[in-house]
Structure 1
Amino acid sequence: MTGQALEQRWSVGELARATGLTVRALHHYDAIGLVPASERTGAGHRRYTEGDLRRLYRVRALRGLGLPLEEIATALDRDADDVSALRTVLARQLAHLDEQAVRVARLRERIGDLLAALDGGMPGPEKFTATLEMISRMDDHYTPAQQDLLARKRTDLGPAAIEAMKLEWADLARRLMGLQAENVPVDDPRVQELTTRWDEIGTAFHGGDTAIVAATDAAYEGSKEAVNRQLGWPAPGDGPDLVDYVRRAREVRS
């Protein structure tokens, strides 16, 4: 009796039980040519060989790494000794996961900030709505690449440094509003010192990227009312514009 005749065969149901996959999944893999059954009975029933089983386990392992079926097929259809295709798809998947990690970190930070705000006392519906509105509108002004850069900068800074900068920035805003209320000109050394530090904090978050600075300015102009409500600043038209005050001080320096 030949070795081929002695080799075990599995029906689709037996293979499903052995691998933990569903019959439906195995049918789909067969239909798209990913793990086709090597043999059929006279009645047309699928029969899987040991080679099919090994291929199926490789598919499961790569699926566990998050690879799409199309890329798995590309990698496995090359010669078993040629790992270049597999290396390519794994490198592409790693880059994709890195991008996802940055986005997840950004979302975690935002949710953490919202929870911290809630833990500090339940805000009124208007203030909470203003916060969500501000987040949405700011996103509209940043490209995905800019959002990723900002997220990486925040990750590099770390939560402790970010929190310290937030507190310092809030103190700068309070002191600047006081000078603004006294009609202190923007070229006054006190204003220049405070606004210089204001910009240094901003640079720590955006790395001095002028496109991000412009996008931030545009975002503020587009959602000034929501931002001011969130920060406790006067609503547009109800008092002096602090951001405009900082801009004019910056222009003096330049």
Structure 2
Amino acid sequence: MDEQERWSVGDLAKSAGLTVRTLHHYDEIGLVSPSERTPAGHRRYTPADVRTLYRVRALRSLGLGLDTIAETLAGPADLSDVLRTQLVHLDAELDRTKALRARVSALIGHQTTLDLLEAMHMIEQYYTPEQLEYLARRRDELGEDHIKAVEAEWPGVIERMTAHHKAGTDPADPDVQALATRWSELMAEFHGGDQSIIDSAQRMLTDTEAEGKQESNGYNKELFAYVQRAWDAK
């Protein structure tokens, strides 16, 4: 093998689209080290070293960490097992990303940027990661069009129930009963009957009310208590 079949660190970095610093790091951790050095101590990569480097790049493109790549290349590890483990990791990351997207999507258009950040922080205080993932899955199952239809109906239901509340209408009144039934149905669209979600939503409402942060759409503790009386009157 002649000299032309060796690569300096600079030439290899340029050819592979990497930085010299990256190749130095790979050498330091023993991932891809040059097999030869010149009498002056300069690194020289052989064709075998280059093949190893491109295997590393291929595995990195699949999202594998350097430690996992090193173990895969150094030992008898089954690449299929490594990739199956990576697929599980990627699925979990995808679920978290979808949950975050659903949370942001649900808030966009309803608050200013600062209000949006405050609302997201508040949500994280009252809902567990598992509950947020459940809500994201439920939103996906229902579909955006259905969710928008439910969200569009809520203000009217709240407005009509508020009018009855302020007028002192008996909770057993047929109109109030019909509204209470629809209220319950719309809430079920959100929580799907999950009691832990219901409890978290109620805690957030109670604390928000106590801090004087009443919802701008009129949905507050007194109104909810009125709806509760309507449910009890059934």
Shorter-chain TM range is 0.7 to 0.9
Q: 1:219 to 1:16 in 2, by over 3 A?
A: same
Aligned residue number for residue 158 of structure 2: 173
Q: 1:7 to 1:88 in 2, by over 3 A?
A: farther
Aligned residue number for residue 97 of structure 2: 101
Report the Cα distance in structure 2 between the residues aligned to 1:72 and 1:13, rounded to whole angstroms: 23
Shift of 1:7: 8.6
Shift of 1:215: 0.5
Normalized against structure 2, the TM-score is what? Answer: 0.84
Q: 1:78 to 1:154 in 2, by over 3 A?
A: same
- 5+ residue gaps, structure 2, are none
- 5+ residue gaps, structure 1, are 119-127
**3-state SS of paired residue (1:243):** helix
Q: How does 1:14-29 map to 2 (within 5 A)?
A: 14-29=11-26
Q: 1:33 to 1:193 in 2, by over 3 A?
A: farther
User: Is the CA contact 1:30–1:36 (under 8 Å) kept in the aligned structure 2?
Assistant: yes
Q: 1:185 to 1:129 in 2, by over 3 A?
A: farther
Q: 1:232 to 1:251 in 2, by over 3 A?
A: closer
**3-state SS of paired residue (1:223):** helix
User: Is the CA contact 2:171–2:230 (under 8 Å) kept in the aligned structure 1?
Assistant: yes
Aligned residue number for residue 29 of structure 2: 32
Q: 1:202 to 1:95 in 2, by over 3 A?
A: same
Q: 1:38 to 1:96 in 2, by over 3 A?
A: farther
Q: How many residues align?
A: 232
Question: Is residue 2:116 matched to residue 1:112?
Answer: no
Aligned residue number for residue 206 of structure 1: 191
Aligned residue number for residue 231 of structure 1: 217
| AA matched with 2:36 | E
Q: 1:193 to 1:76 in 2, by over 3 A?
A: farther
**3-state SS of paired residue (2:108):** helix
**3-state SS of paired residue (1:113):** coil
| Higher RCO (CA-CA < 8 Å; seq separation 6+) | 1
Q: Please report the RMSD computed on the Cα atoms of aligned residues, expressed in angstroms.
A: 2.8
User: Is the CA contact 1:78–1:85 (under 8 Å) kept in the aligned structure 2?
Assistant: no
Shift of 1:133: 3.6
Question: Is residue 2:131 matched to residue 1:146?
Answer: yes
Normalized against structure 1, the TM-score is what? Answer: 0.78
Report the Cα distance in structure 2 between the residues aligned to 1:79 and 1:192, rounded to whole angstroms: 69
Q: How does 1:17-96 map to 2 (within 5 A)?
A: 17-79=14-76, 82-96=78-92
**3-state SS of paired residue (1:18):** helix
Shift of 1:244: 1.8
Shift of 1:108: 4.2
User: Is the CA contact 1:137–1:222 (under 8 Å) kept in the aligned structure 2?
Assistant: no
User: Is the CA contact 2:158–2:219 (under 8 Å) kept in the aligned structure 1?
Assistant: no
Aligned residue number for residue 194 of structure 1: 179
User: Is the CA contact 1:133–1:226 (under 8 Å) kept in the aligned structure 2?
Assistant: no
Cα distance per residue 1:128-155 (max 9 Å; x no partner): 8666544432221001111121122222
| AA matched with 1:24 | R
**3-state SS of paired residue (2:82):** helix
In percent, how many aligned pairs have the same letter? 39
| AA matched with 1:231 | N
Q: 1:131 to 1:28 in 2, by over 3 A?
A: closer
Cα distance per residue 1:95-119 (max 9 Å; x no partner): 23322431342254045334xx67x
Question: Is residue 2:228 matched to residue 1:247?
Answer: yes
**3-state SS of paired residue (1:231):** coil
Q: 1:79 to 1:131 in 2, by over 3 A?
A: closer
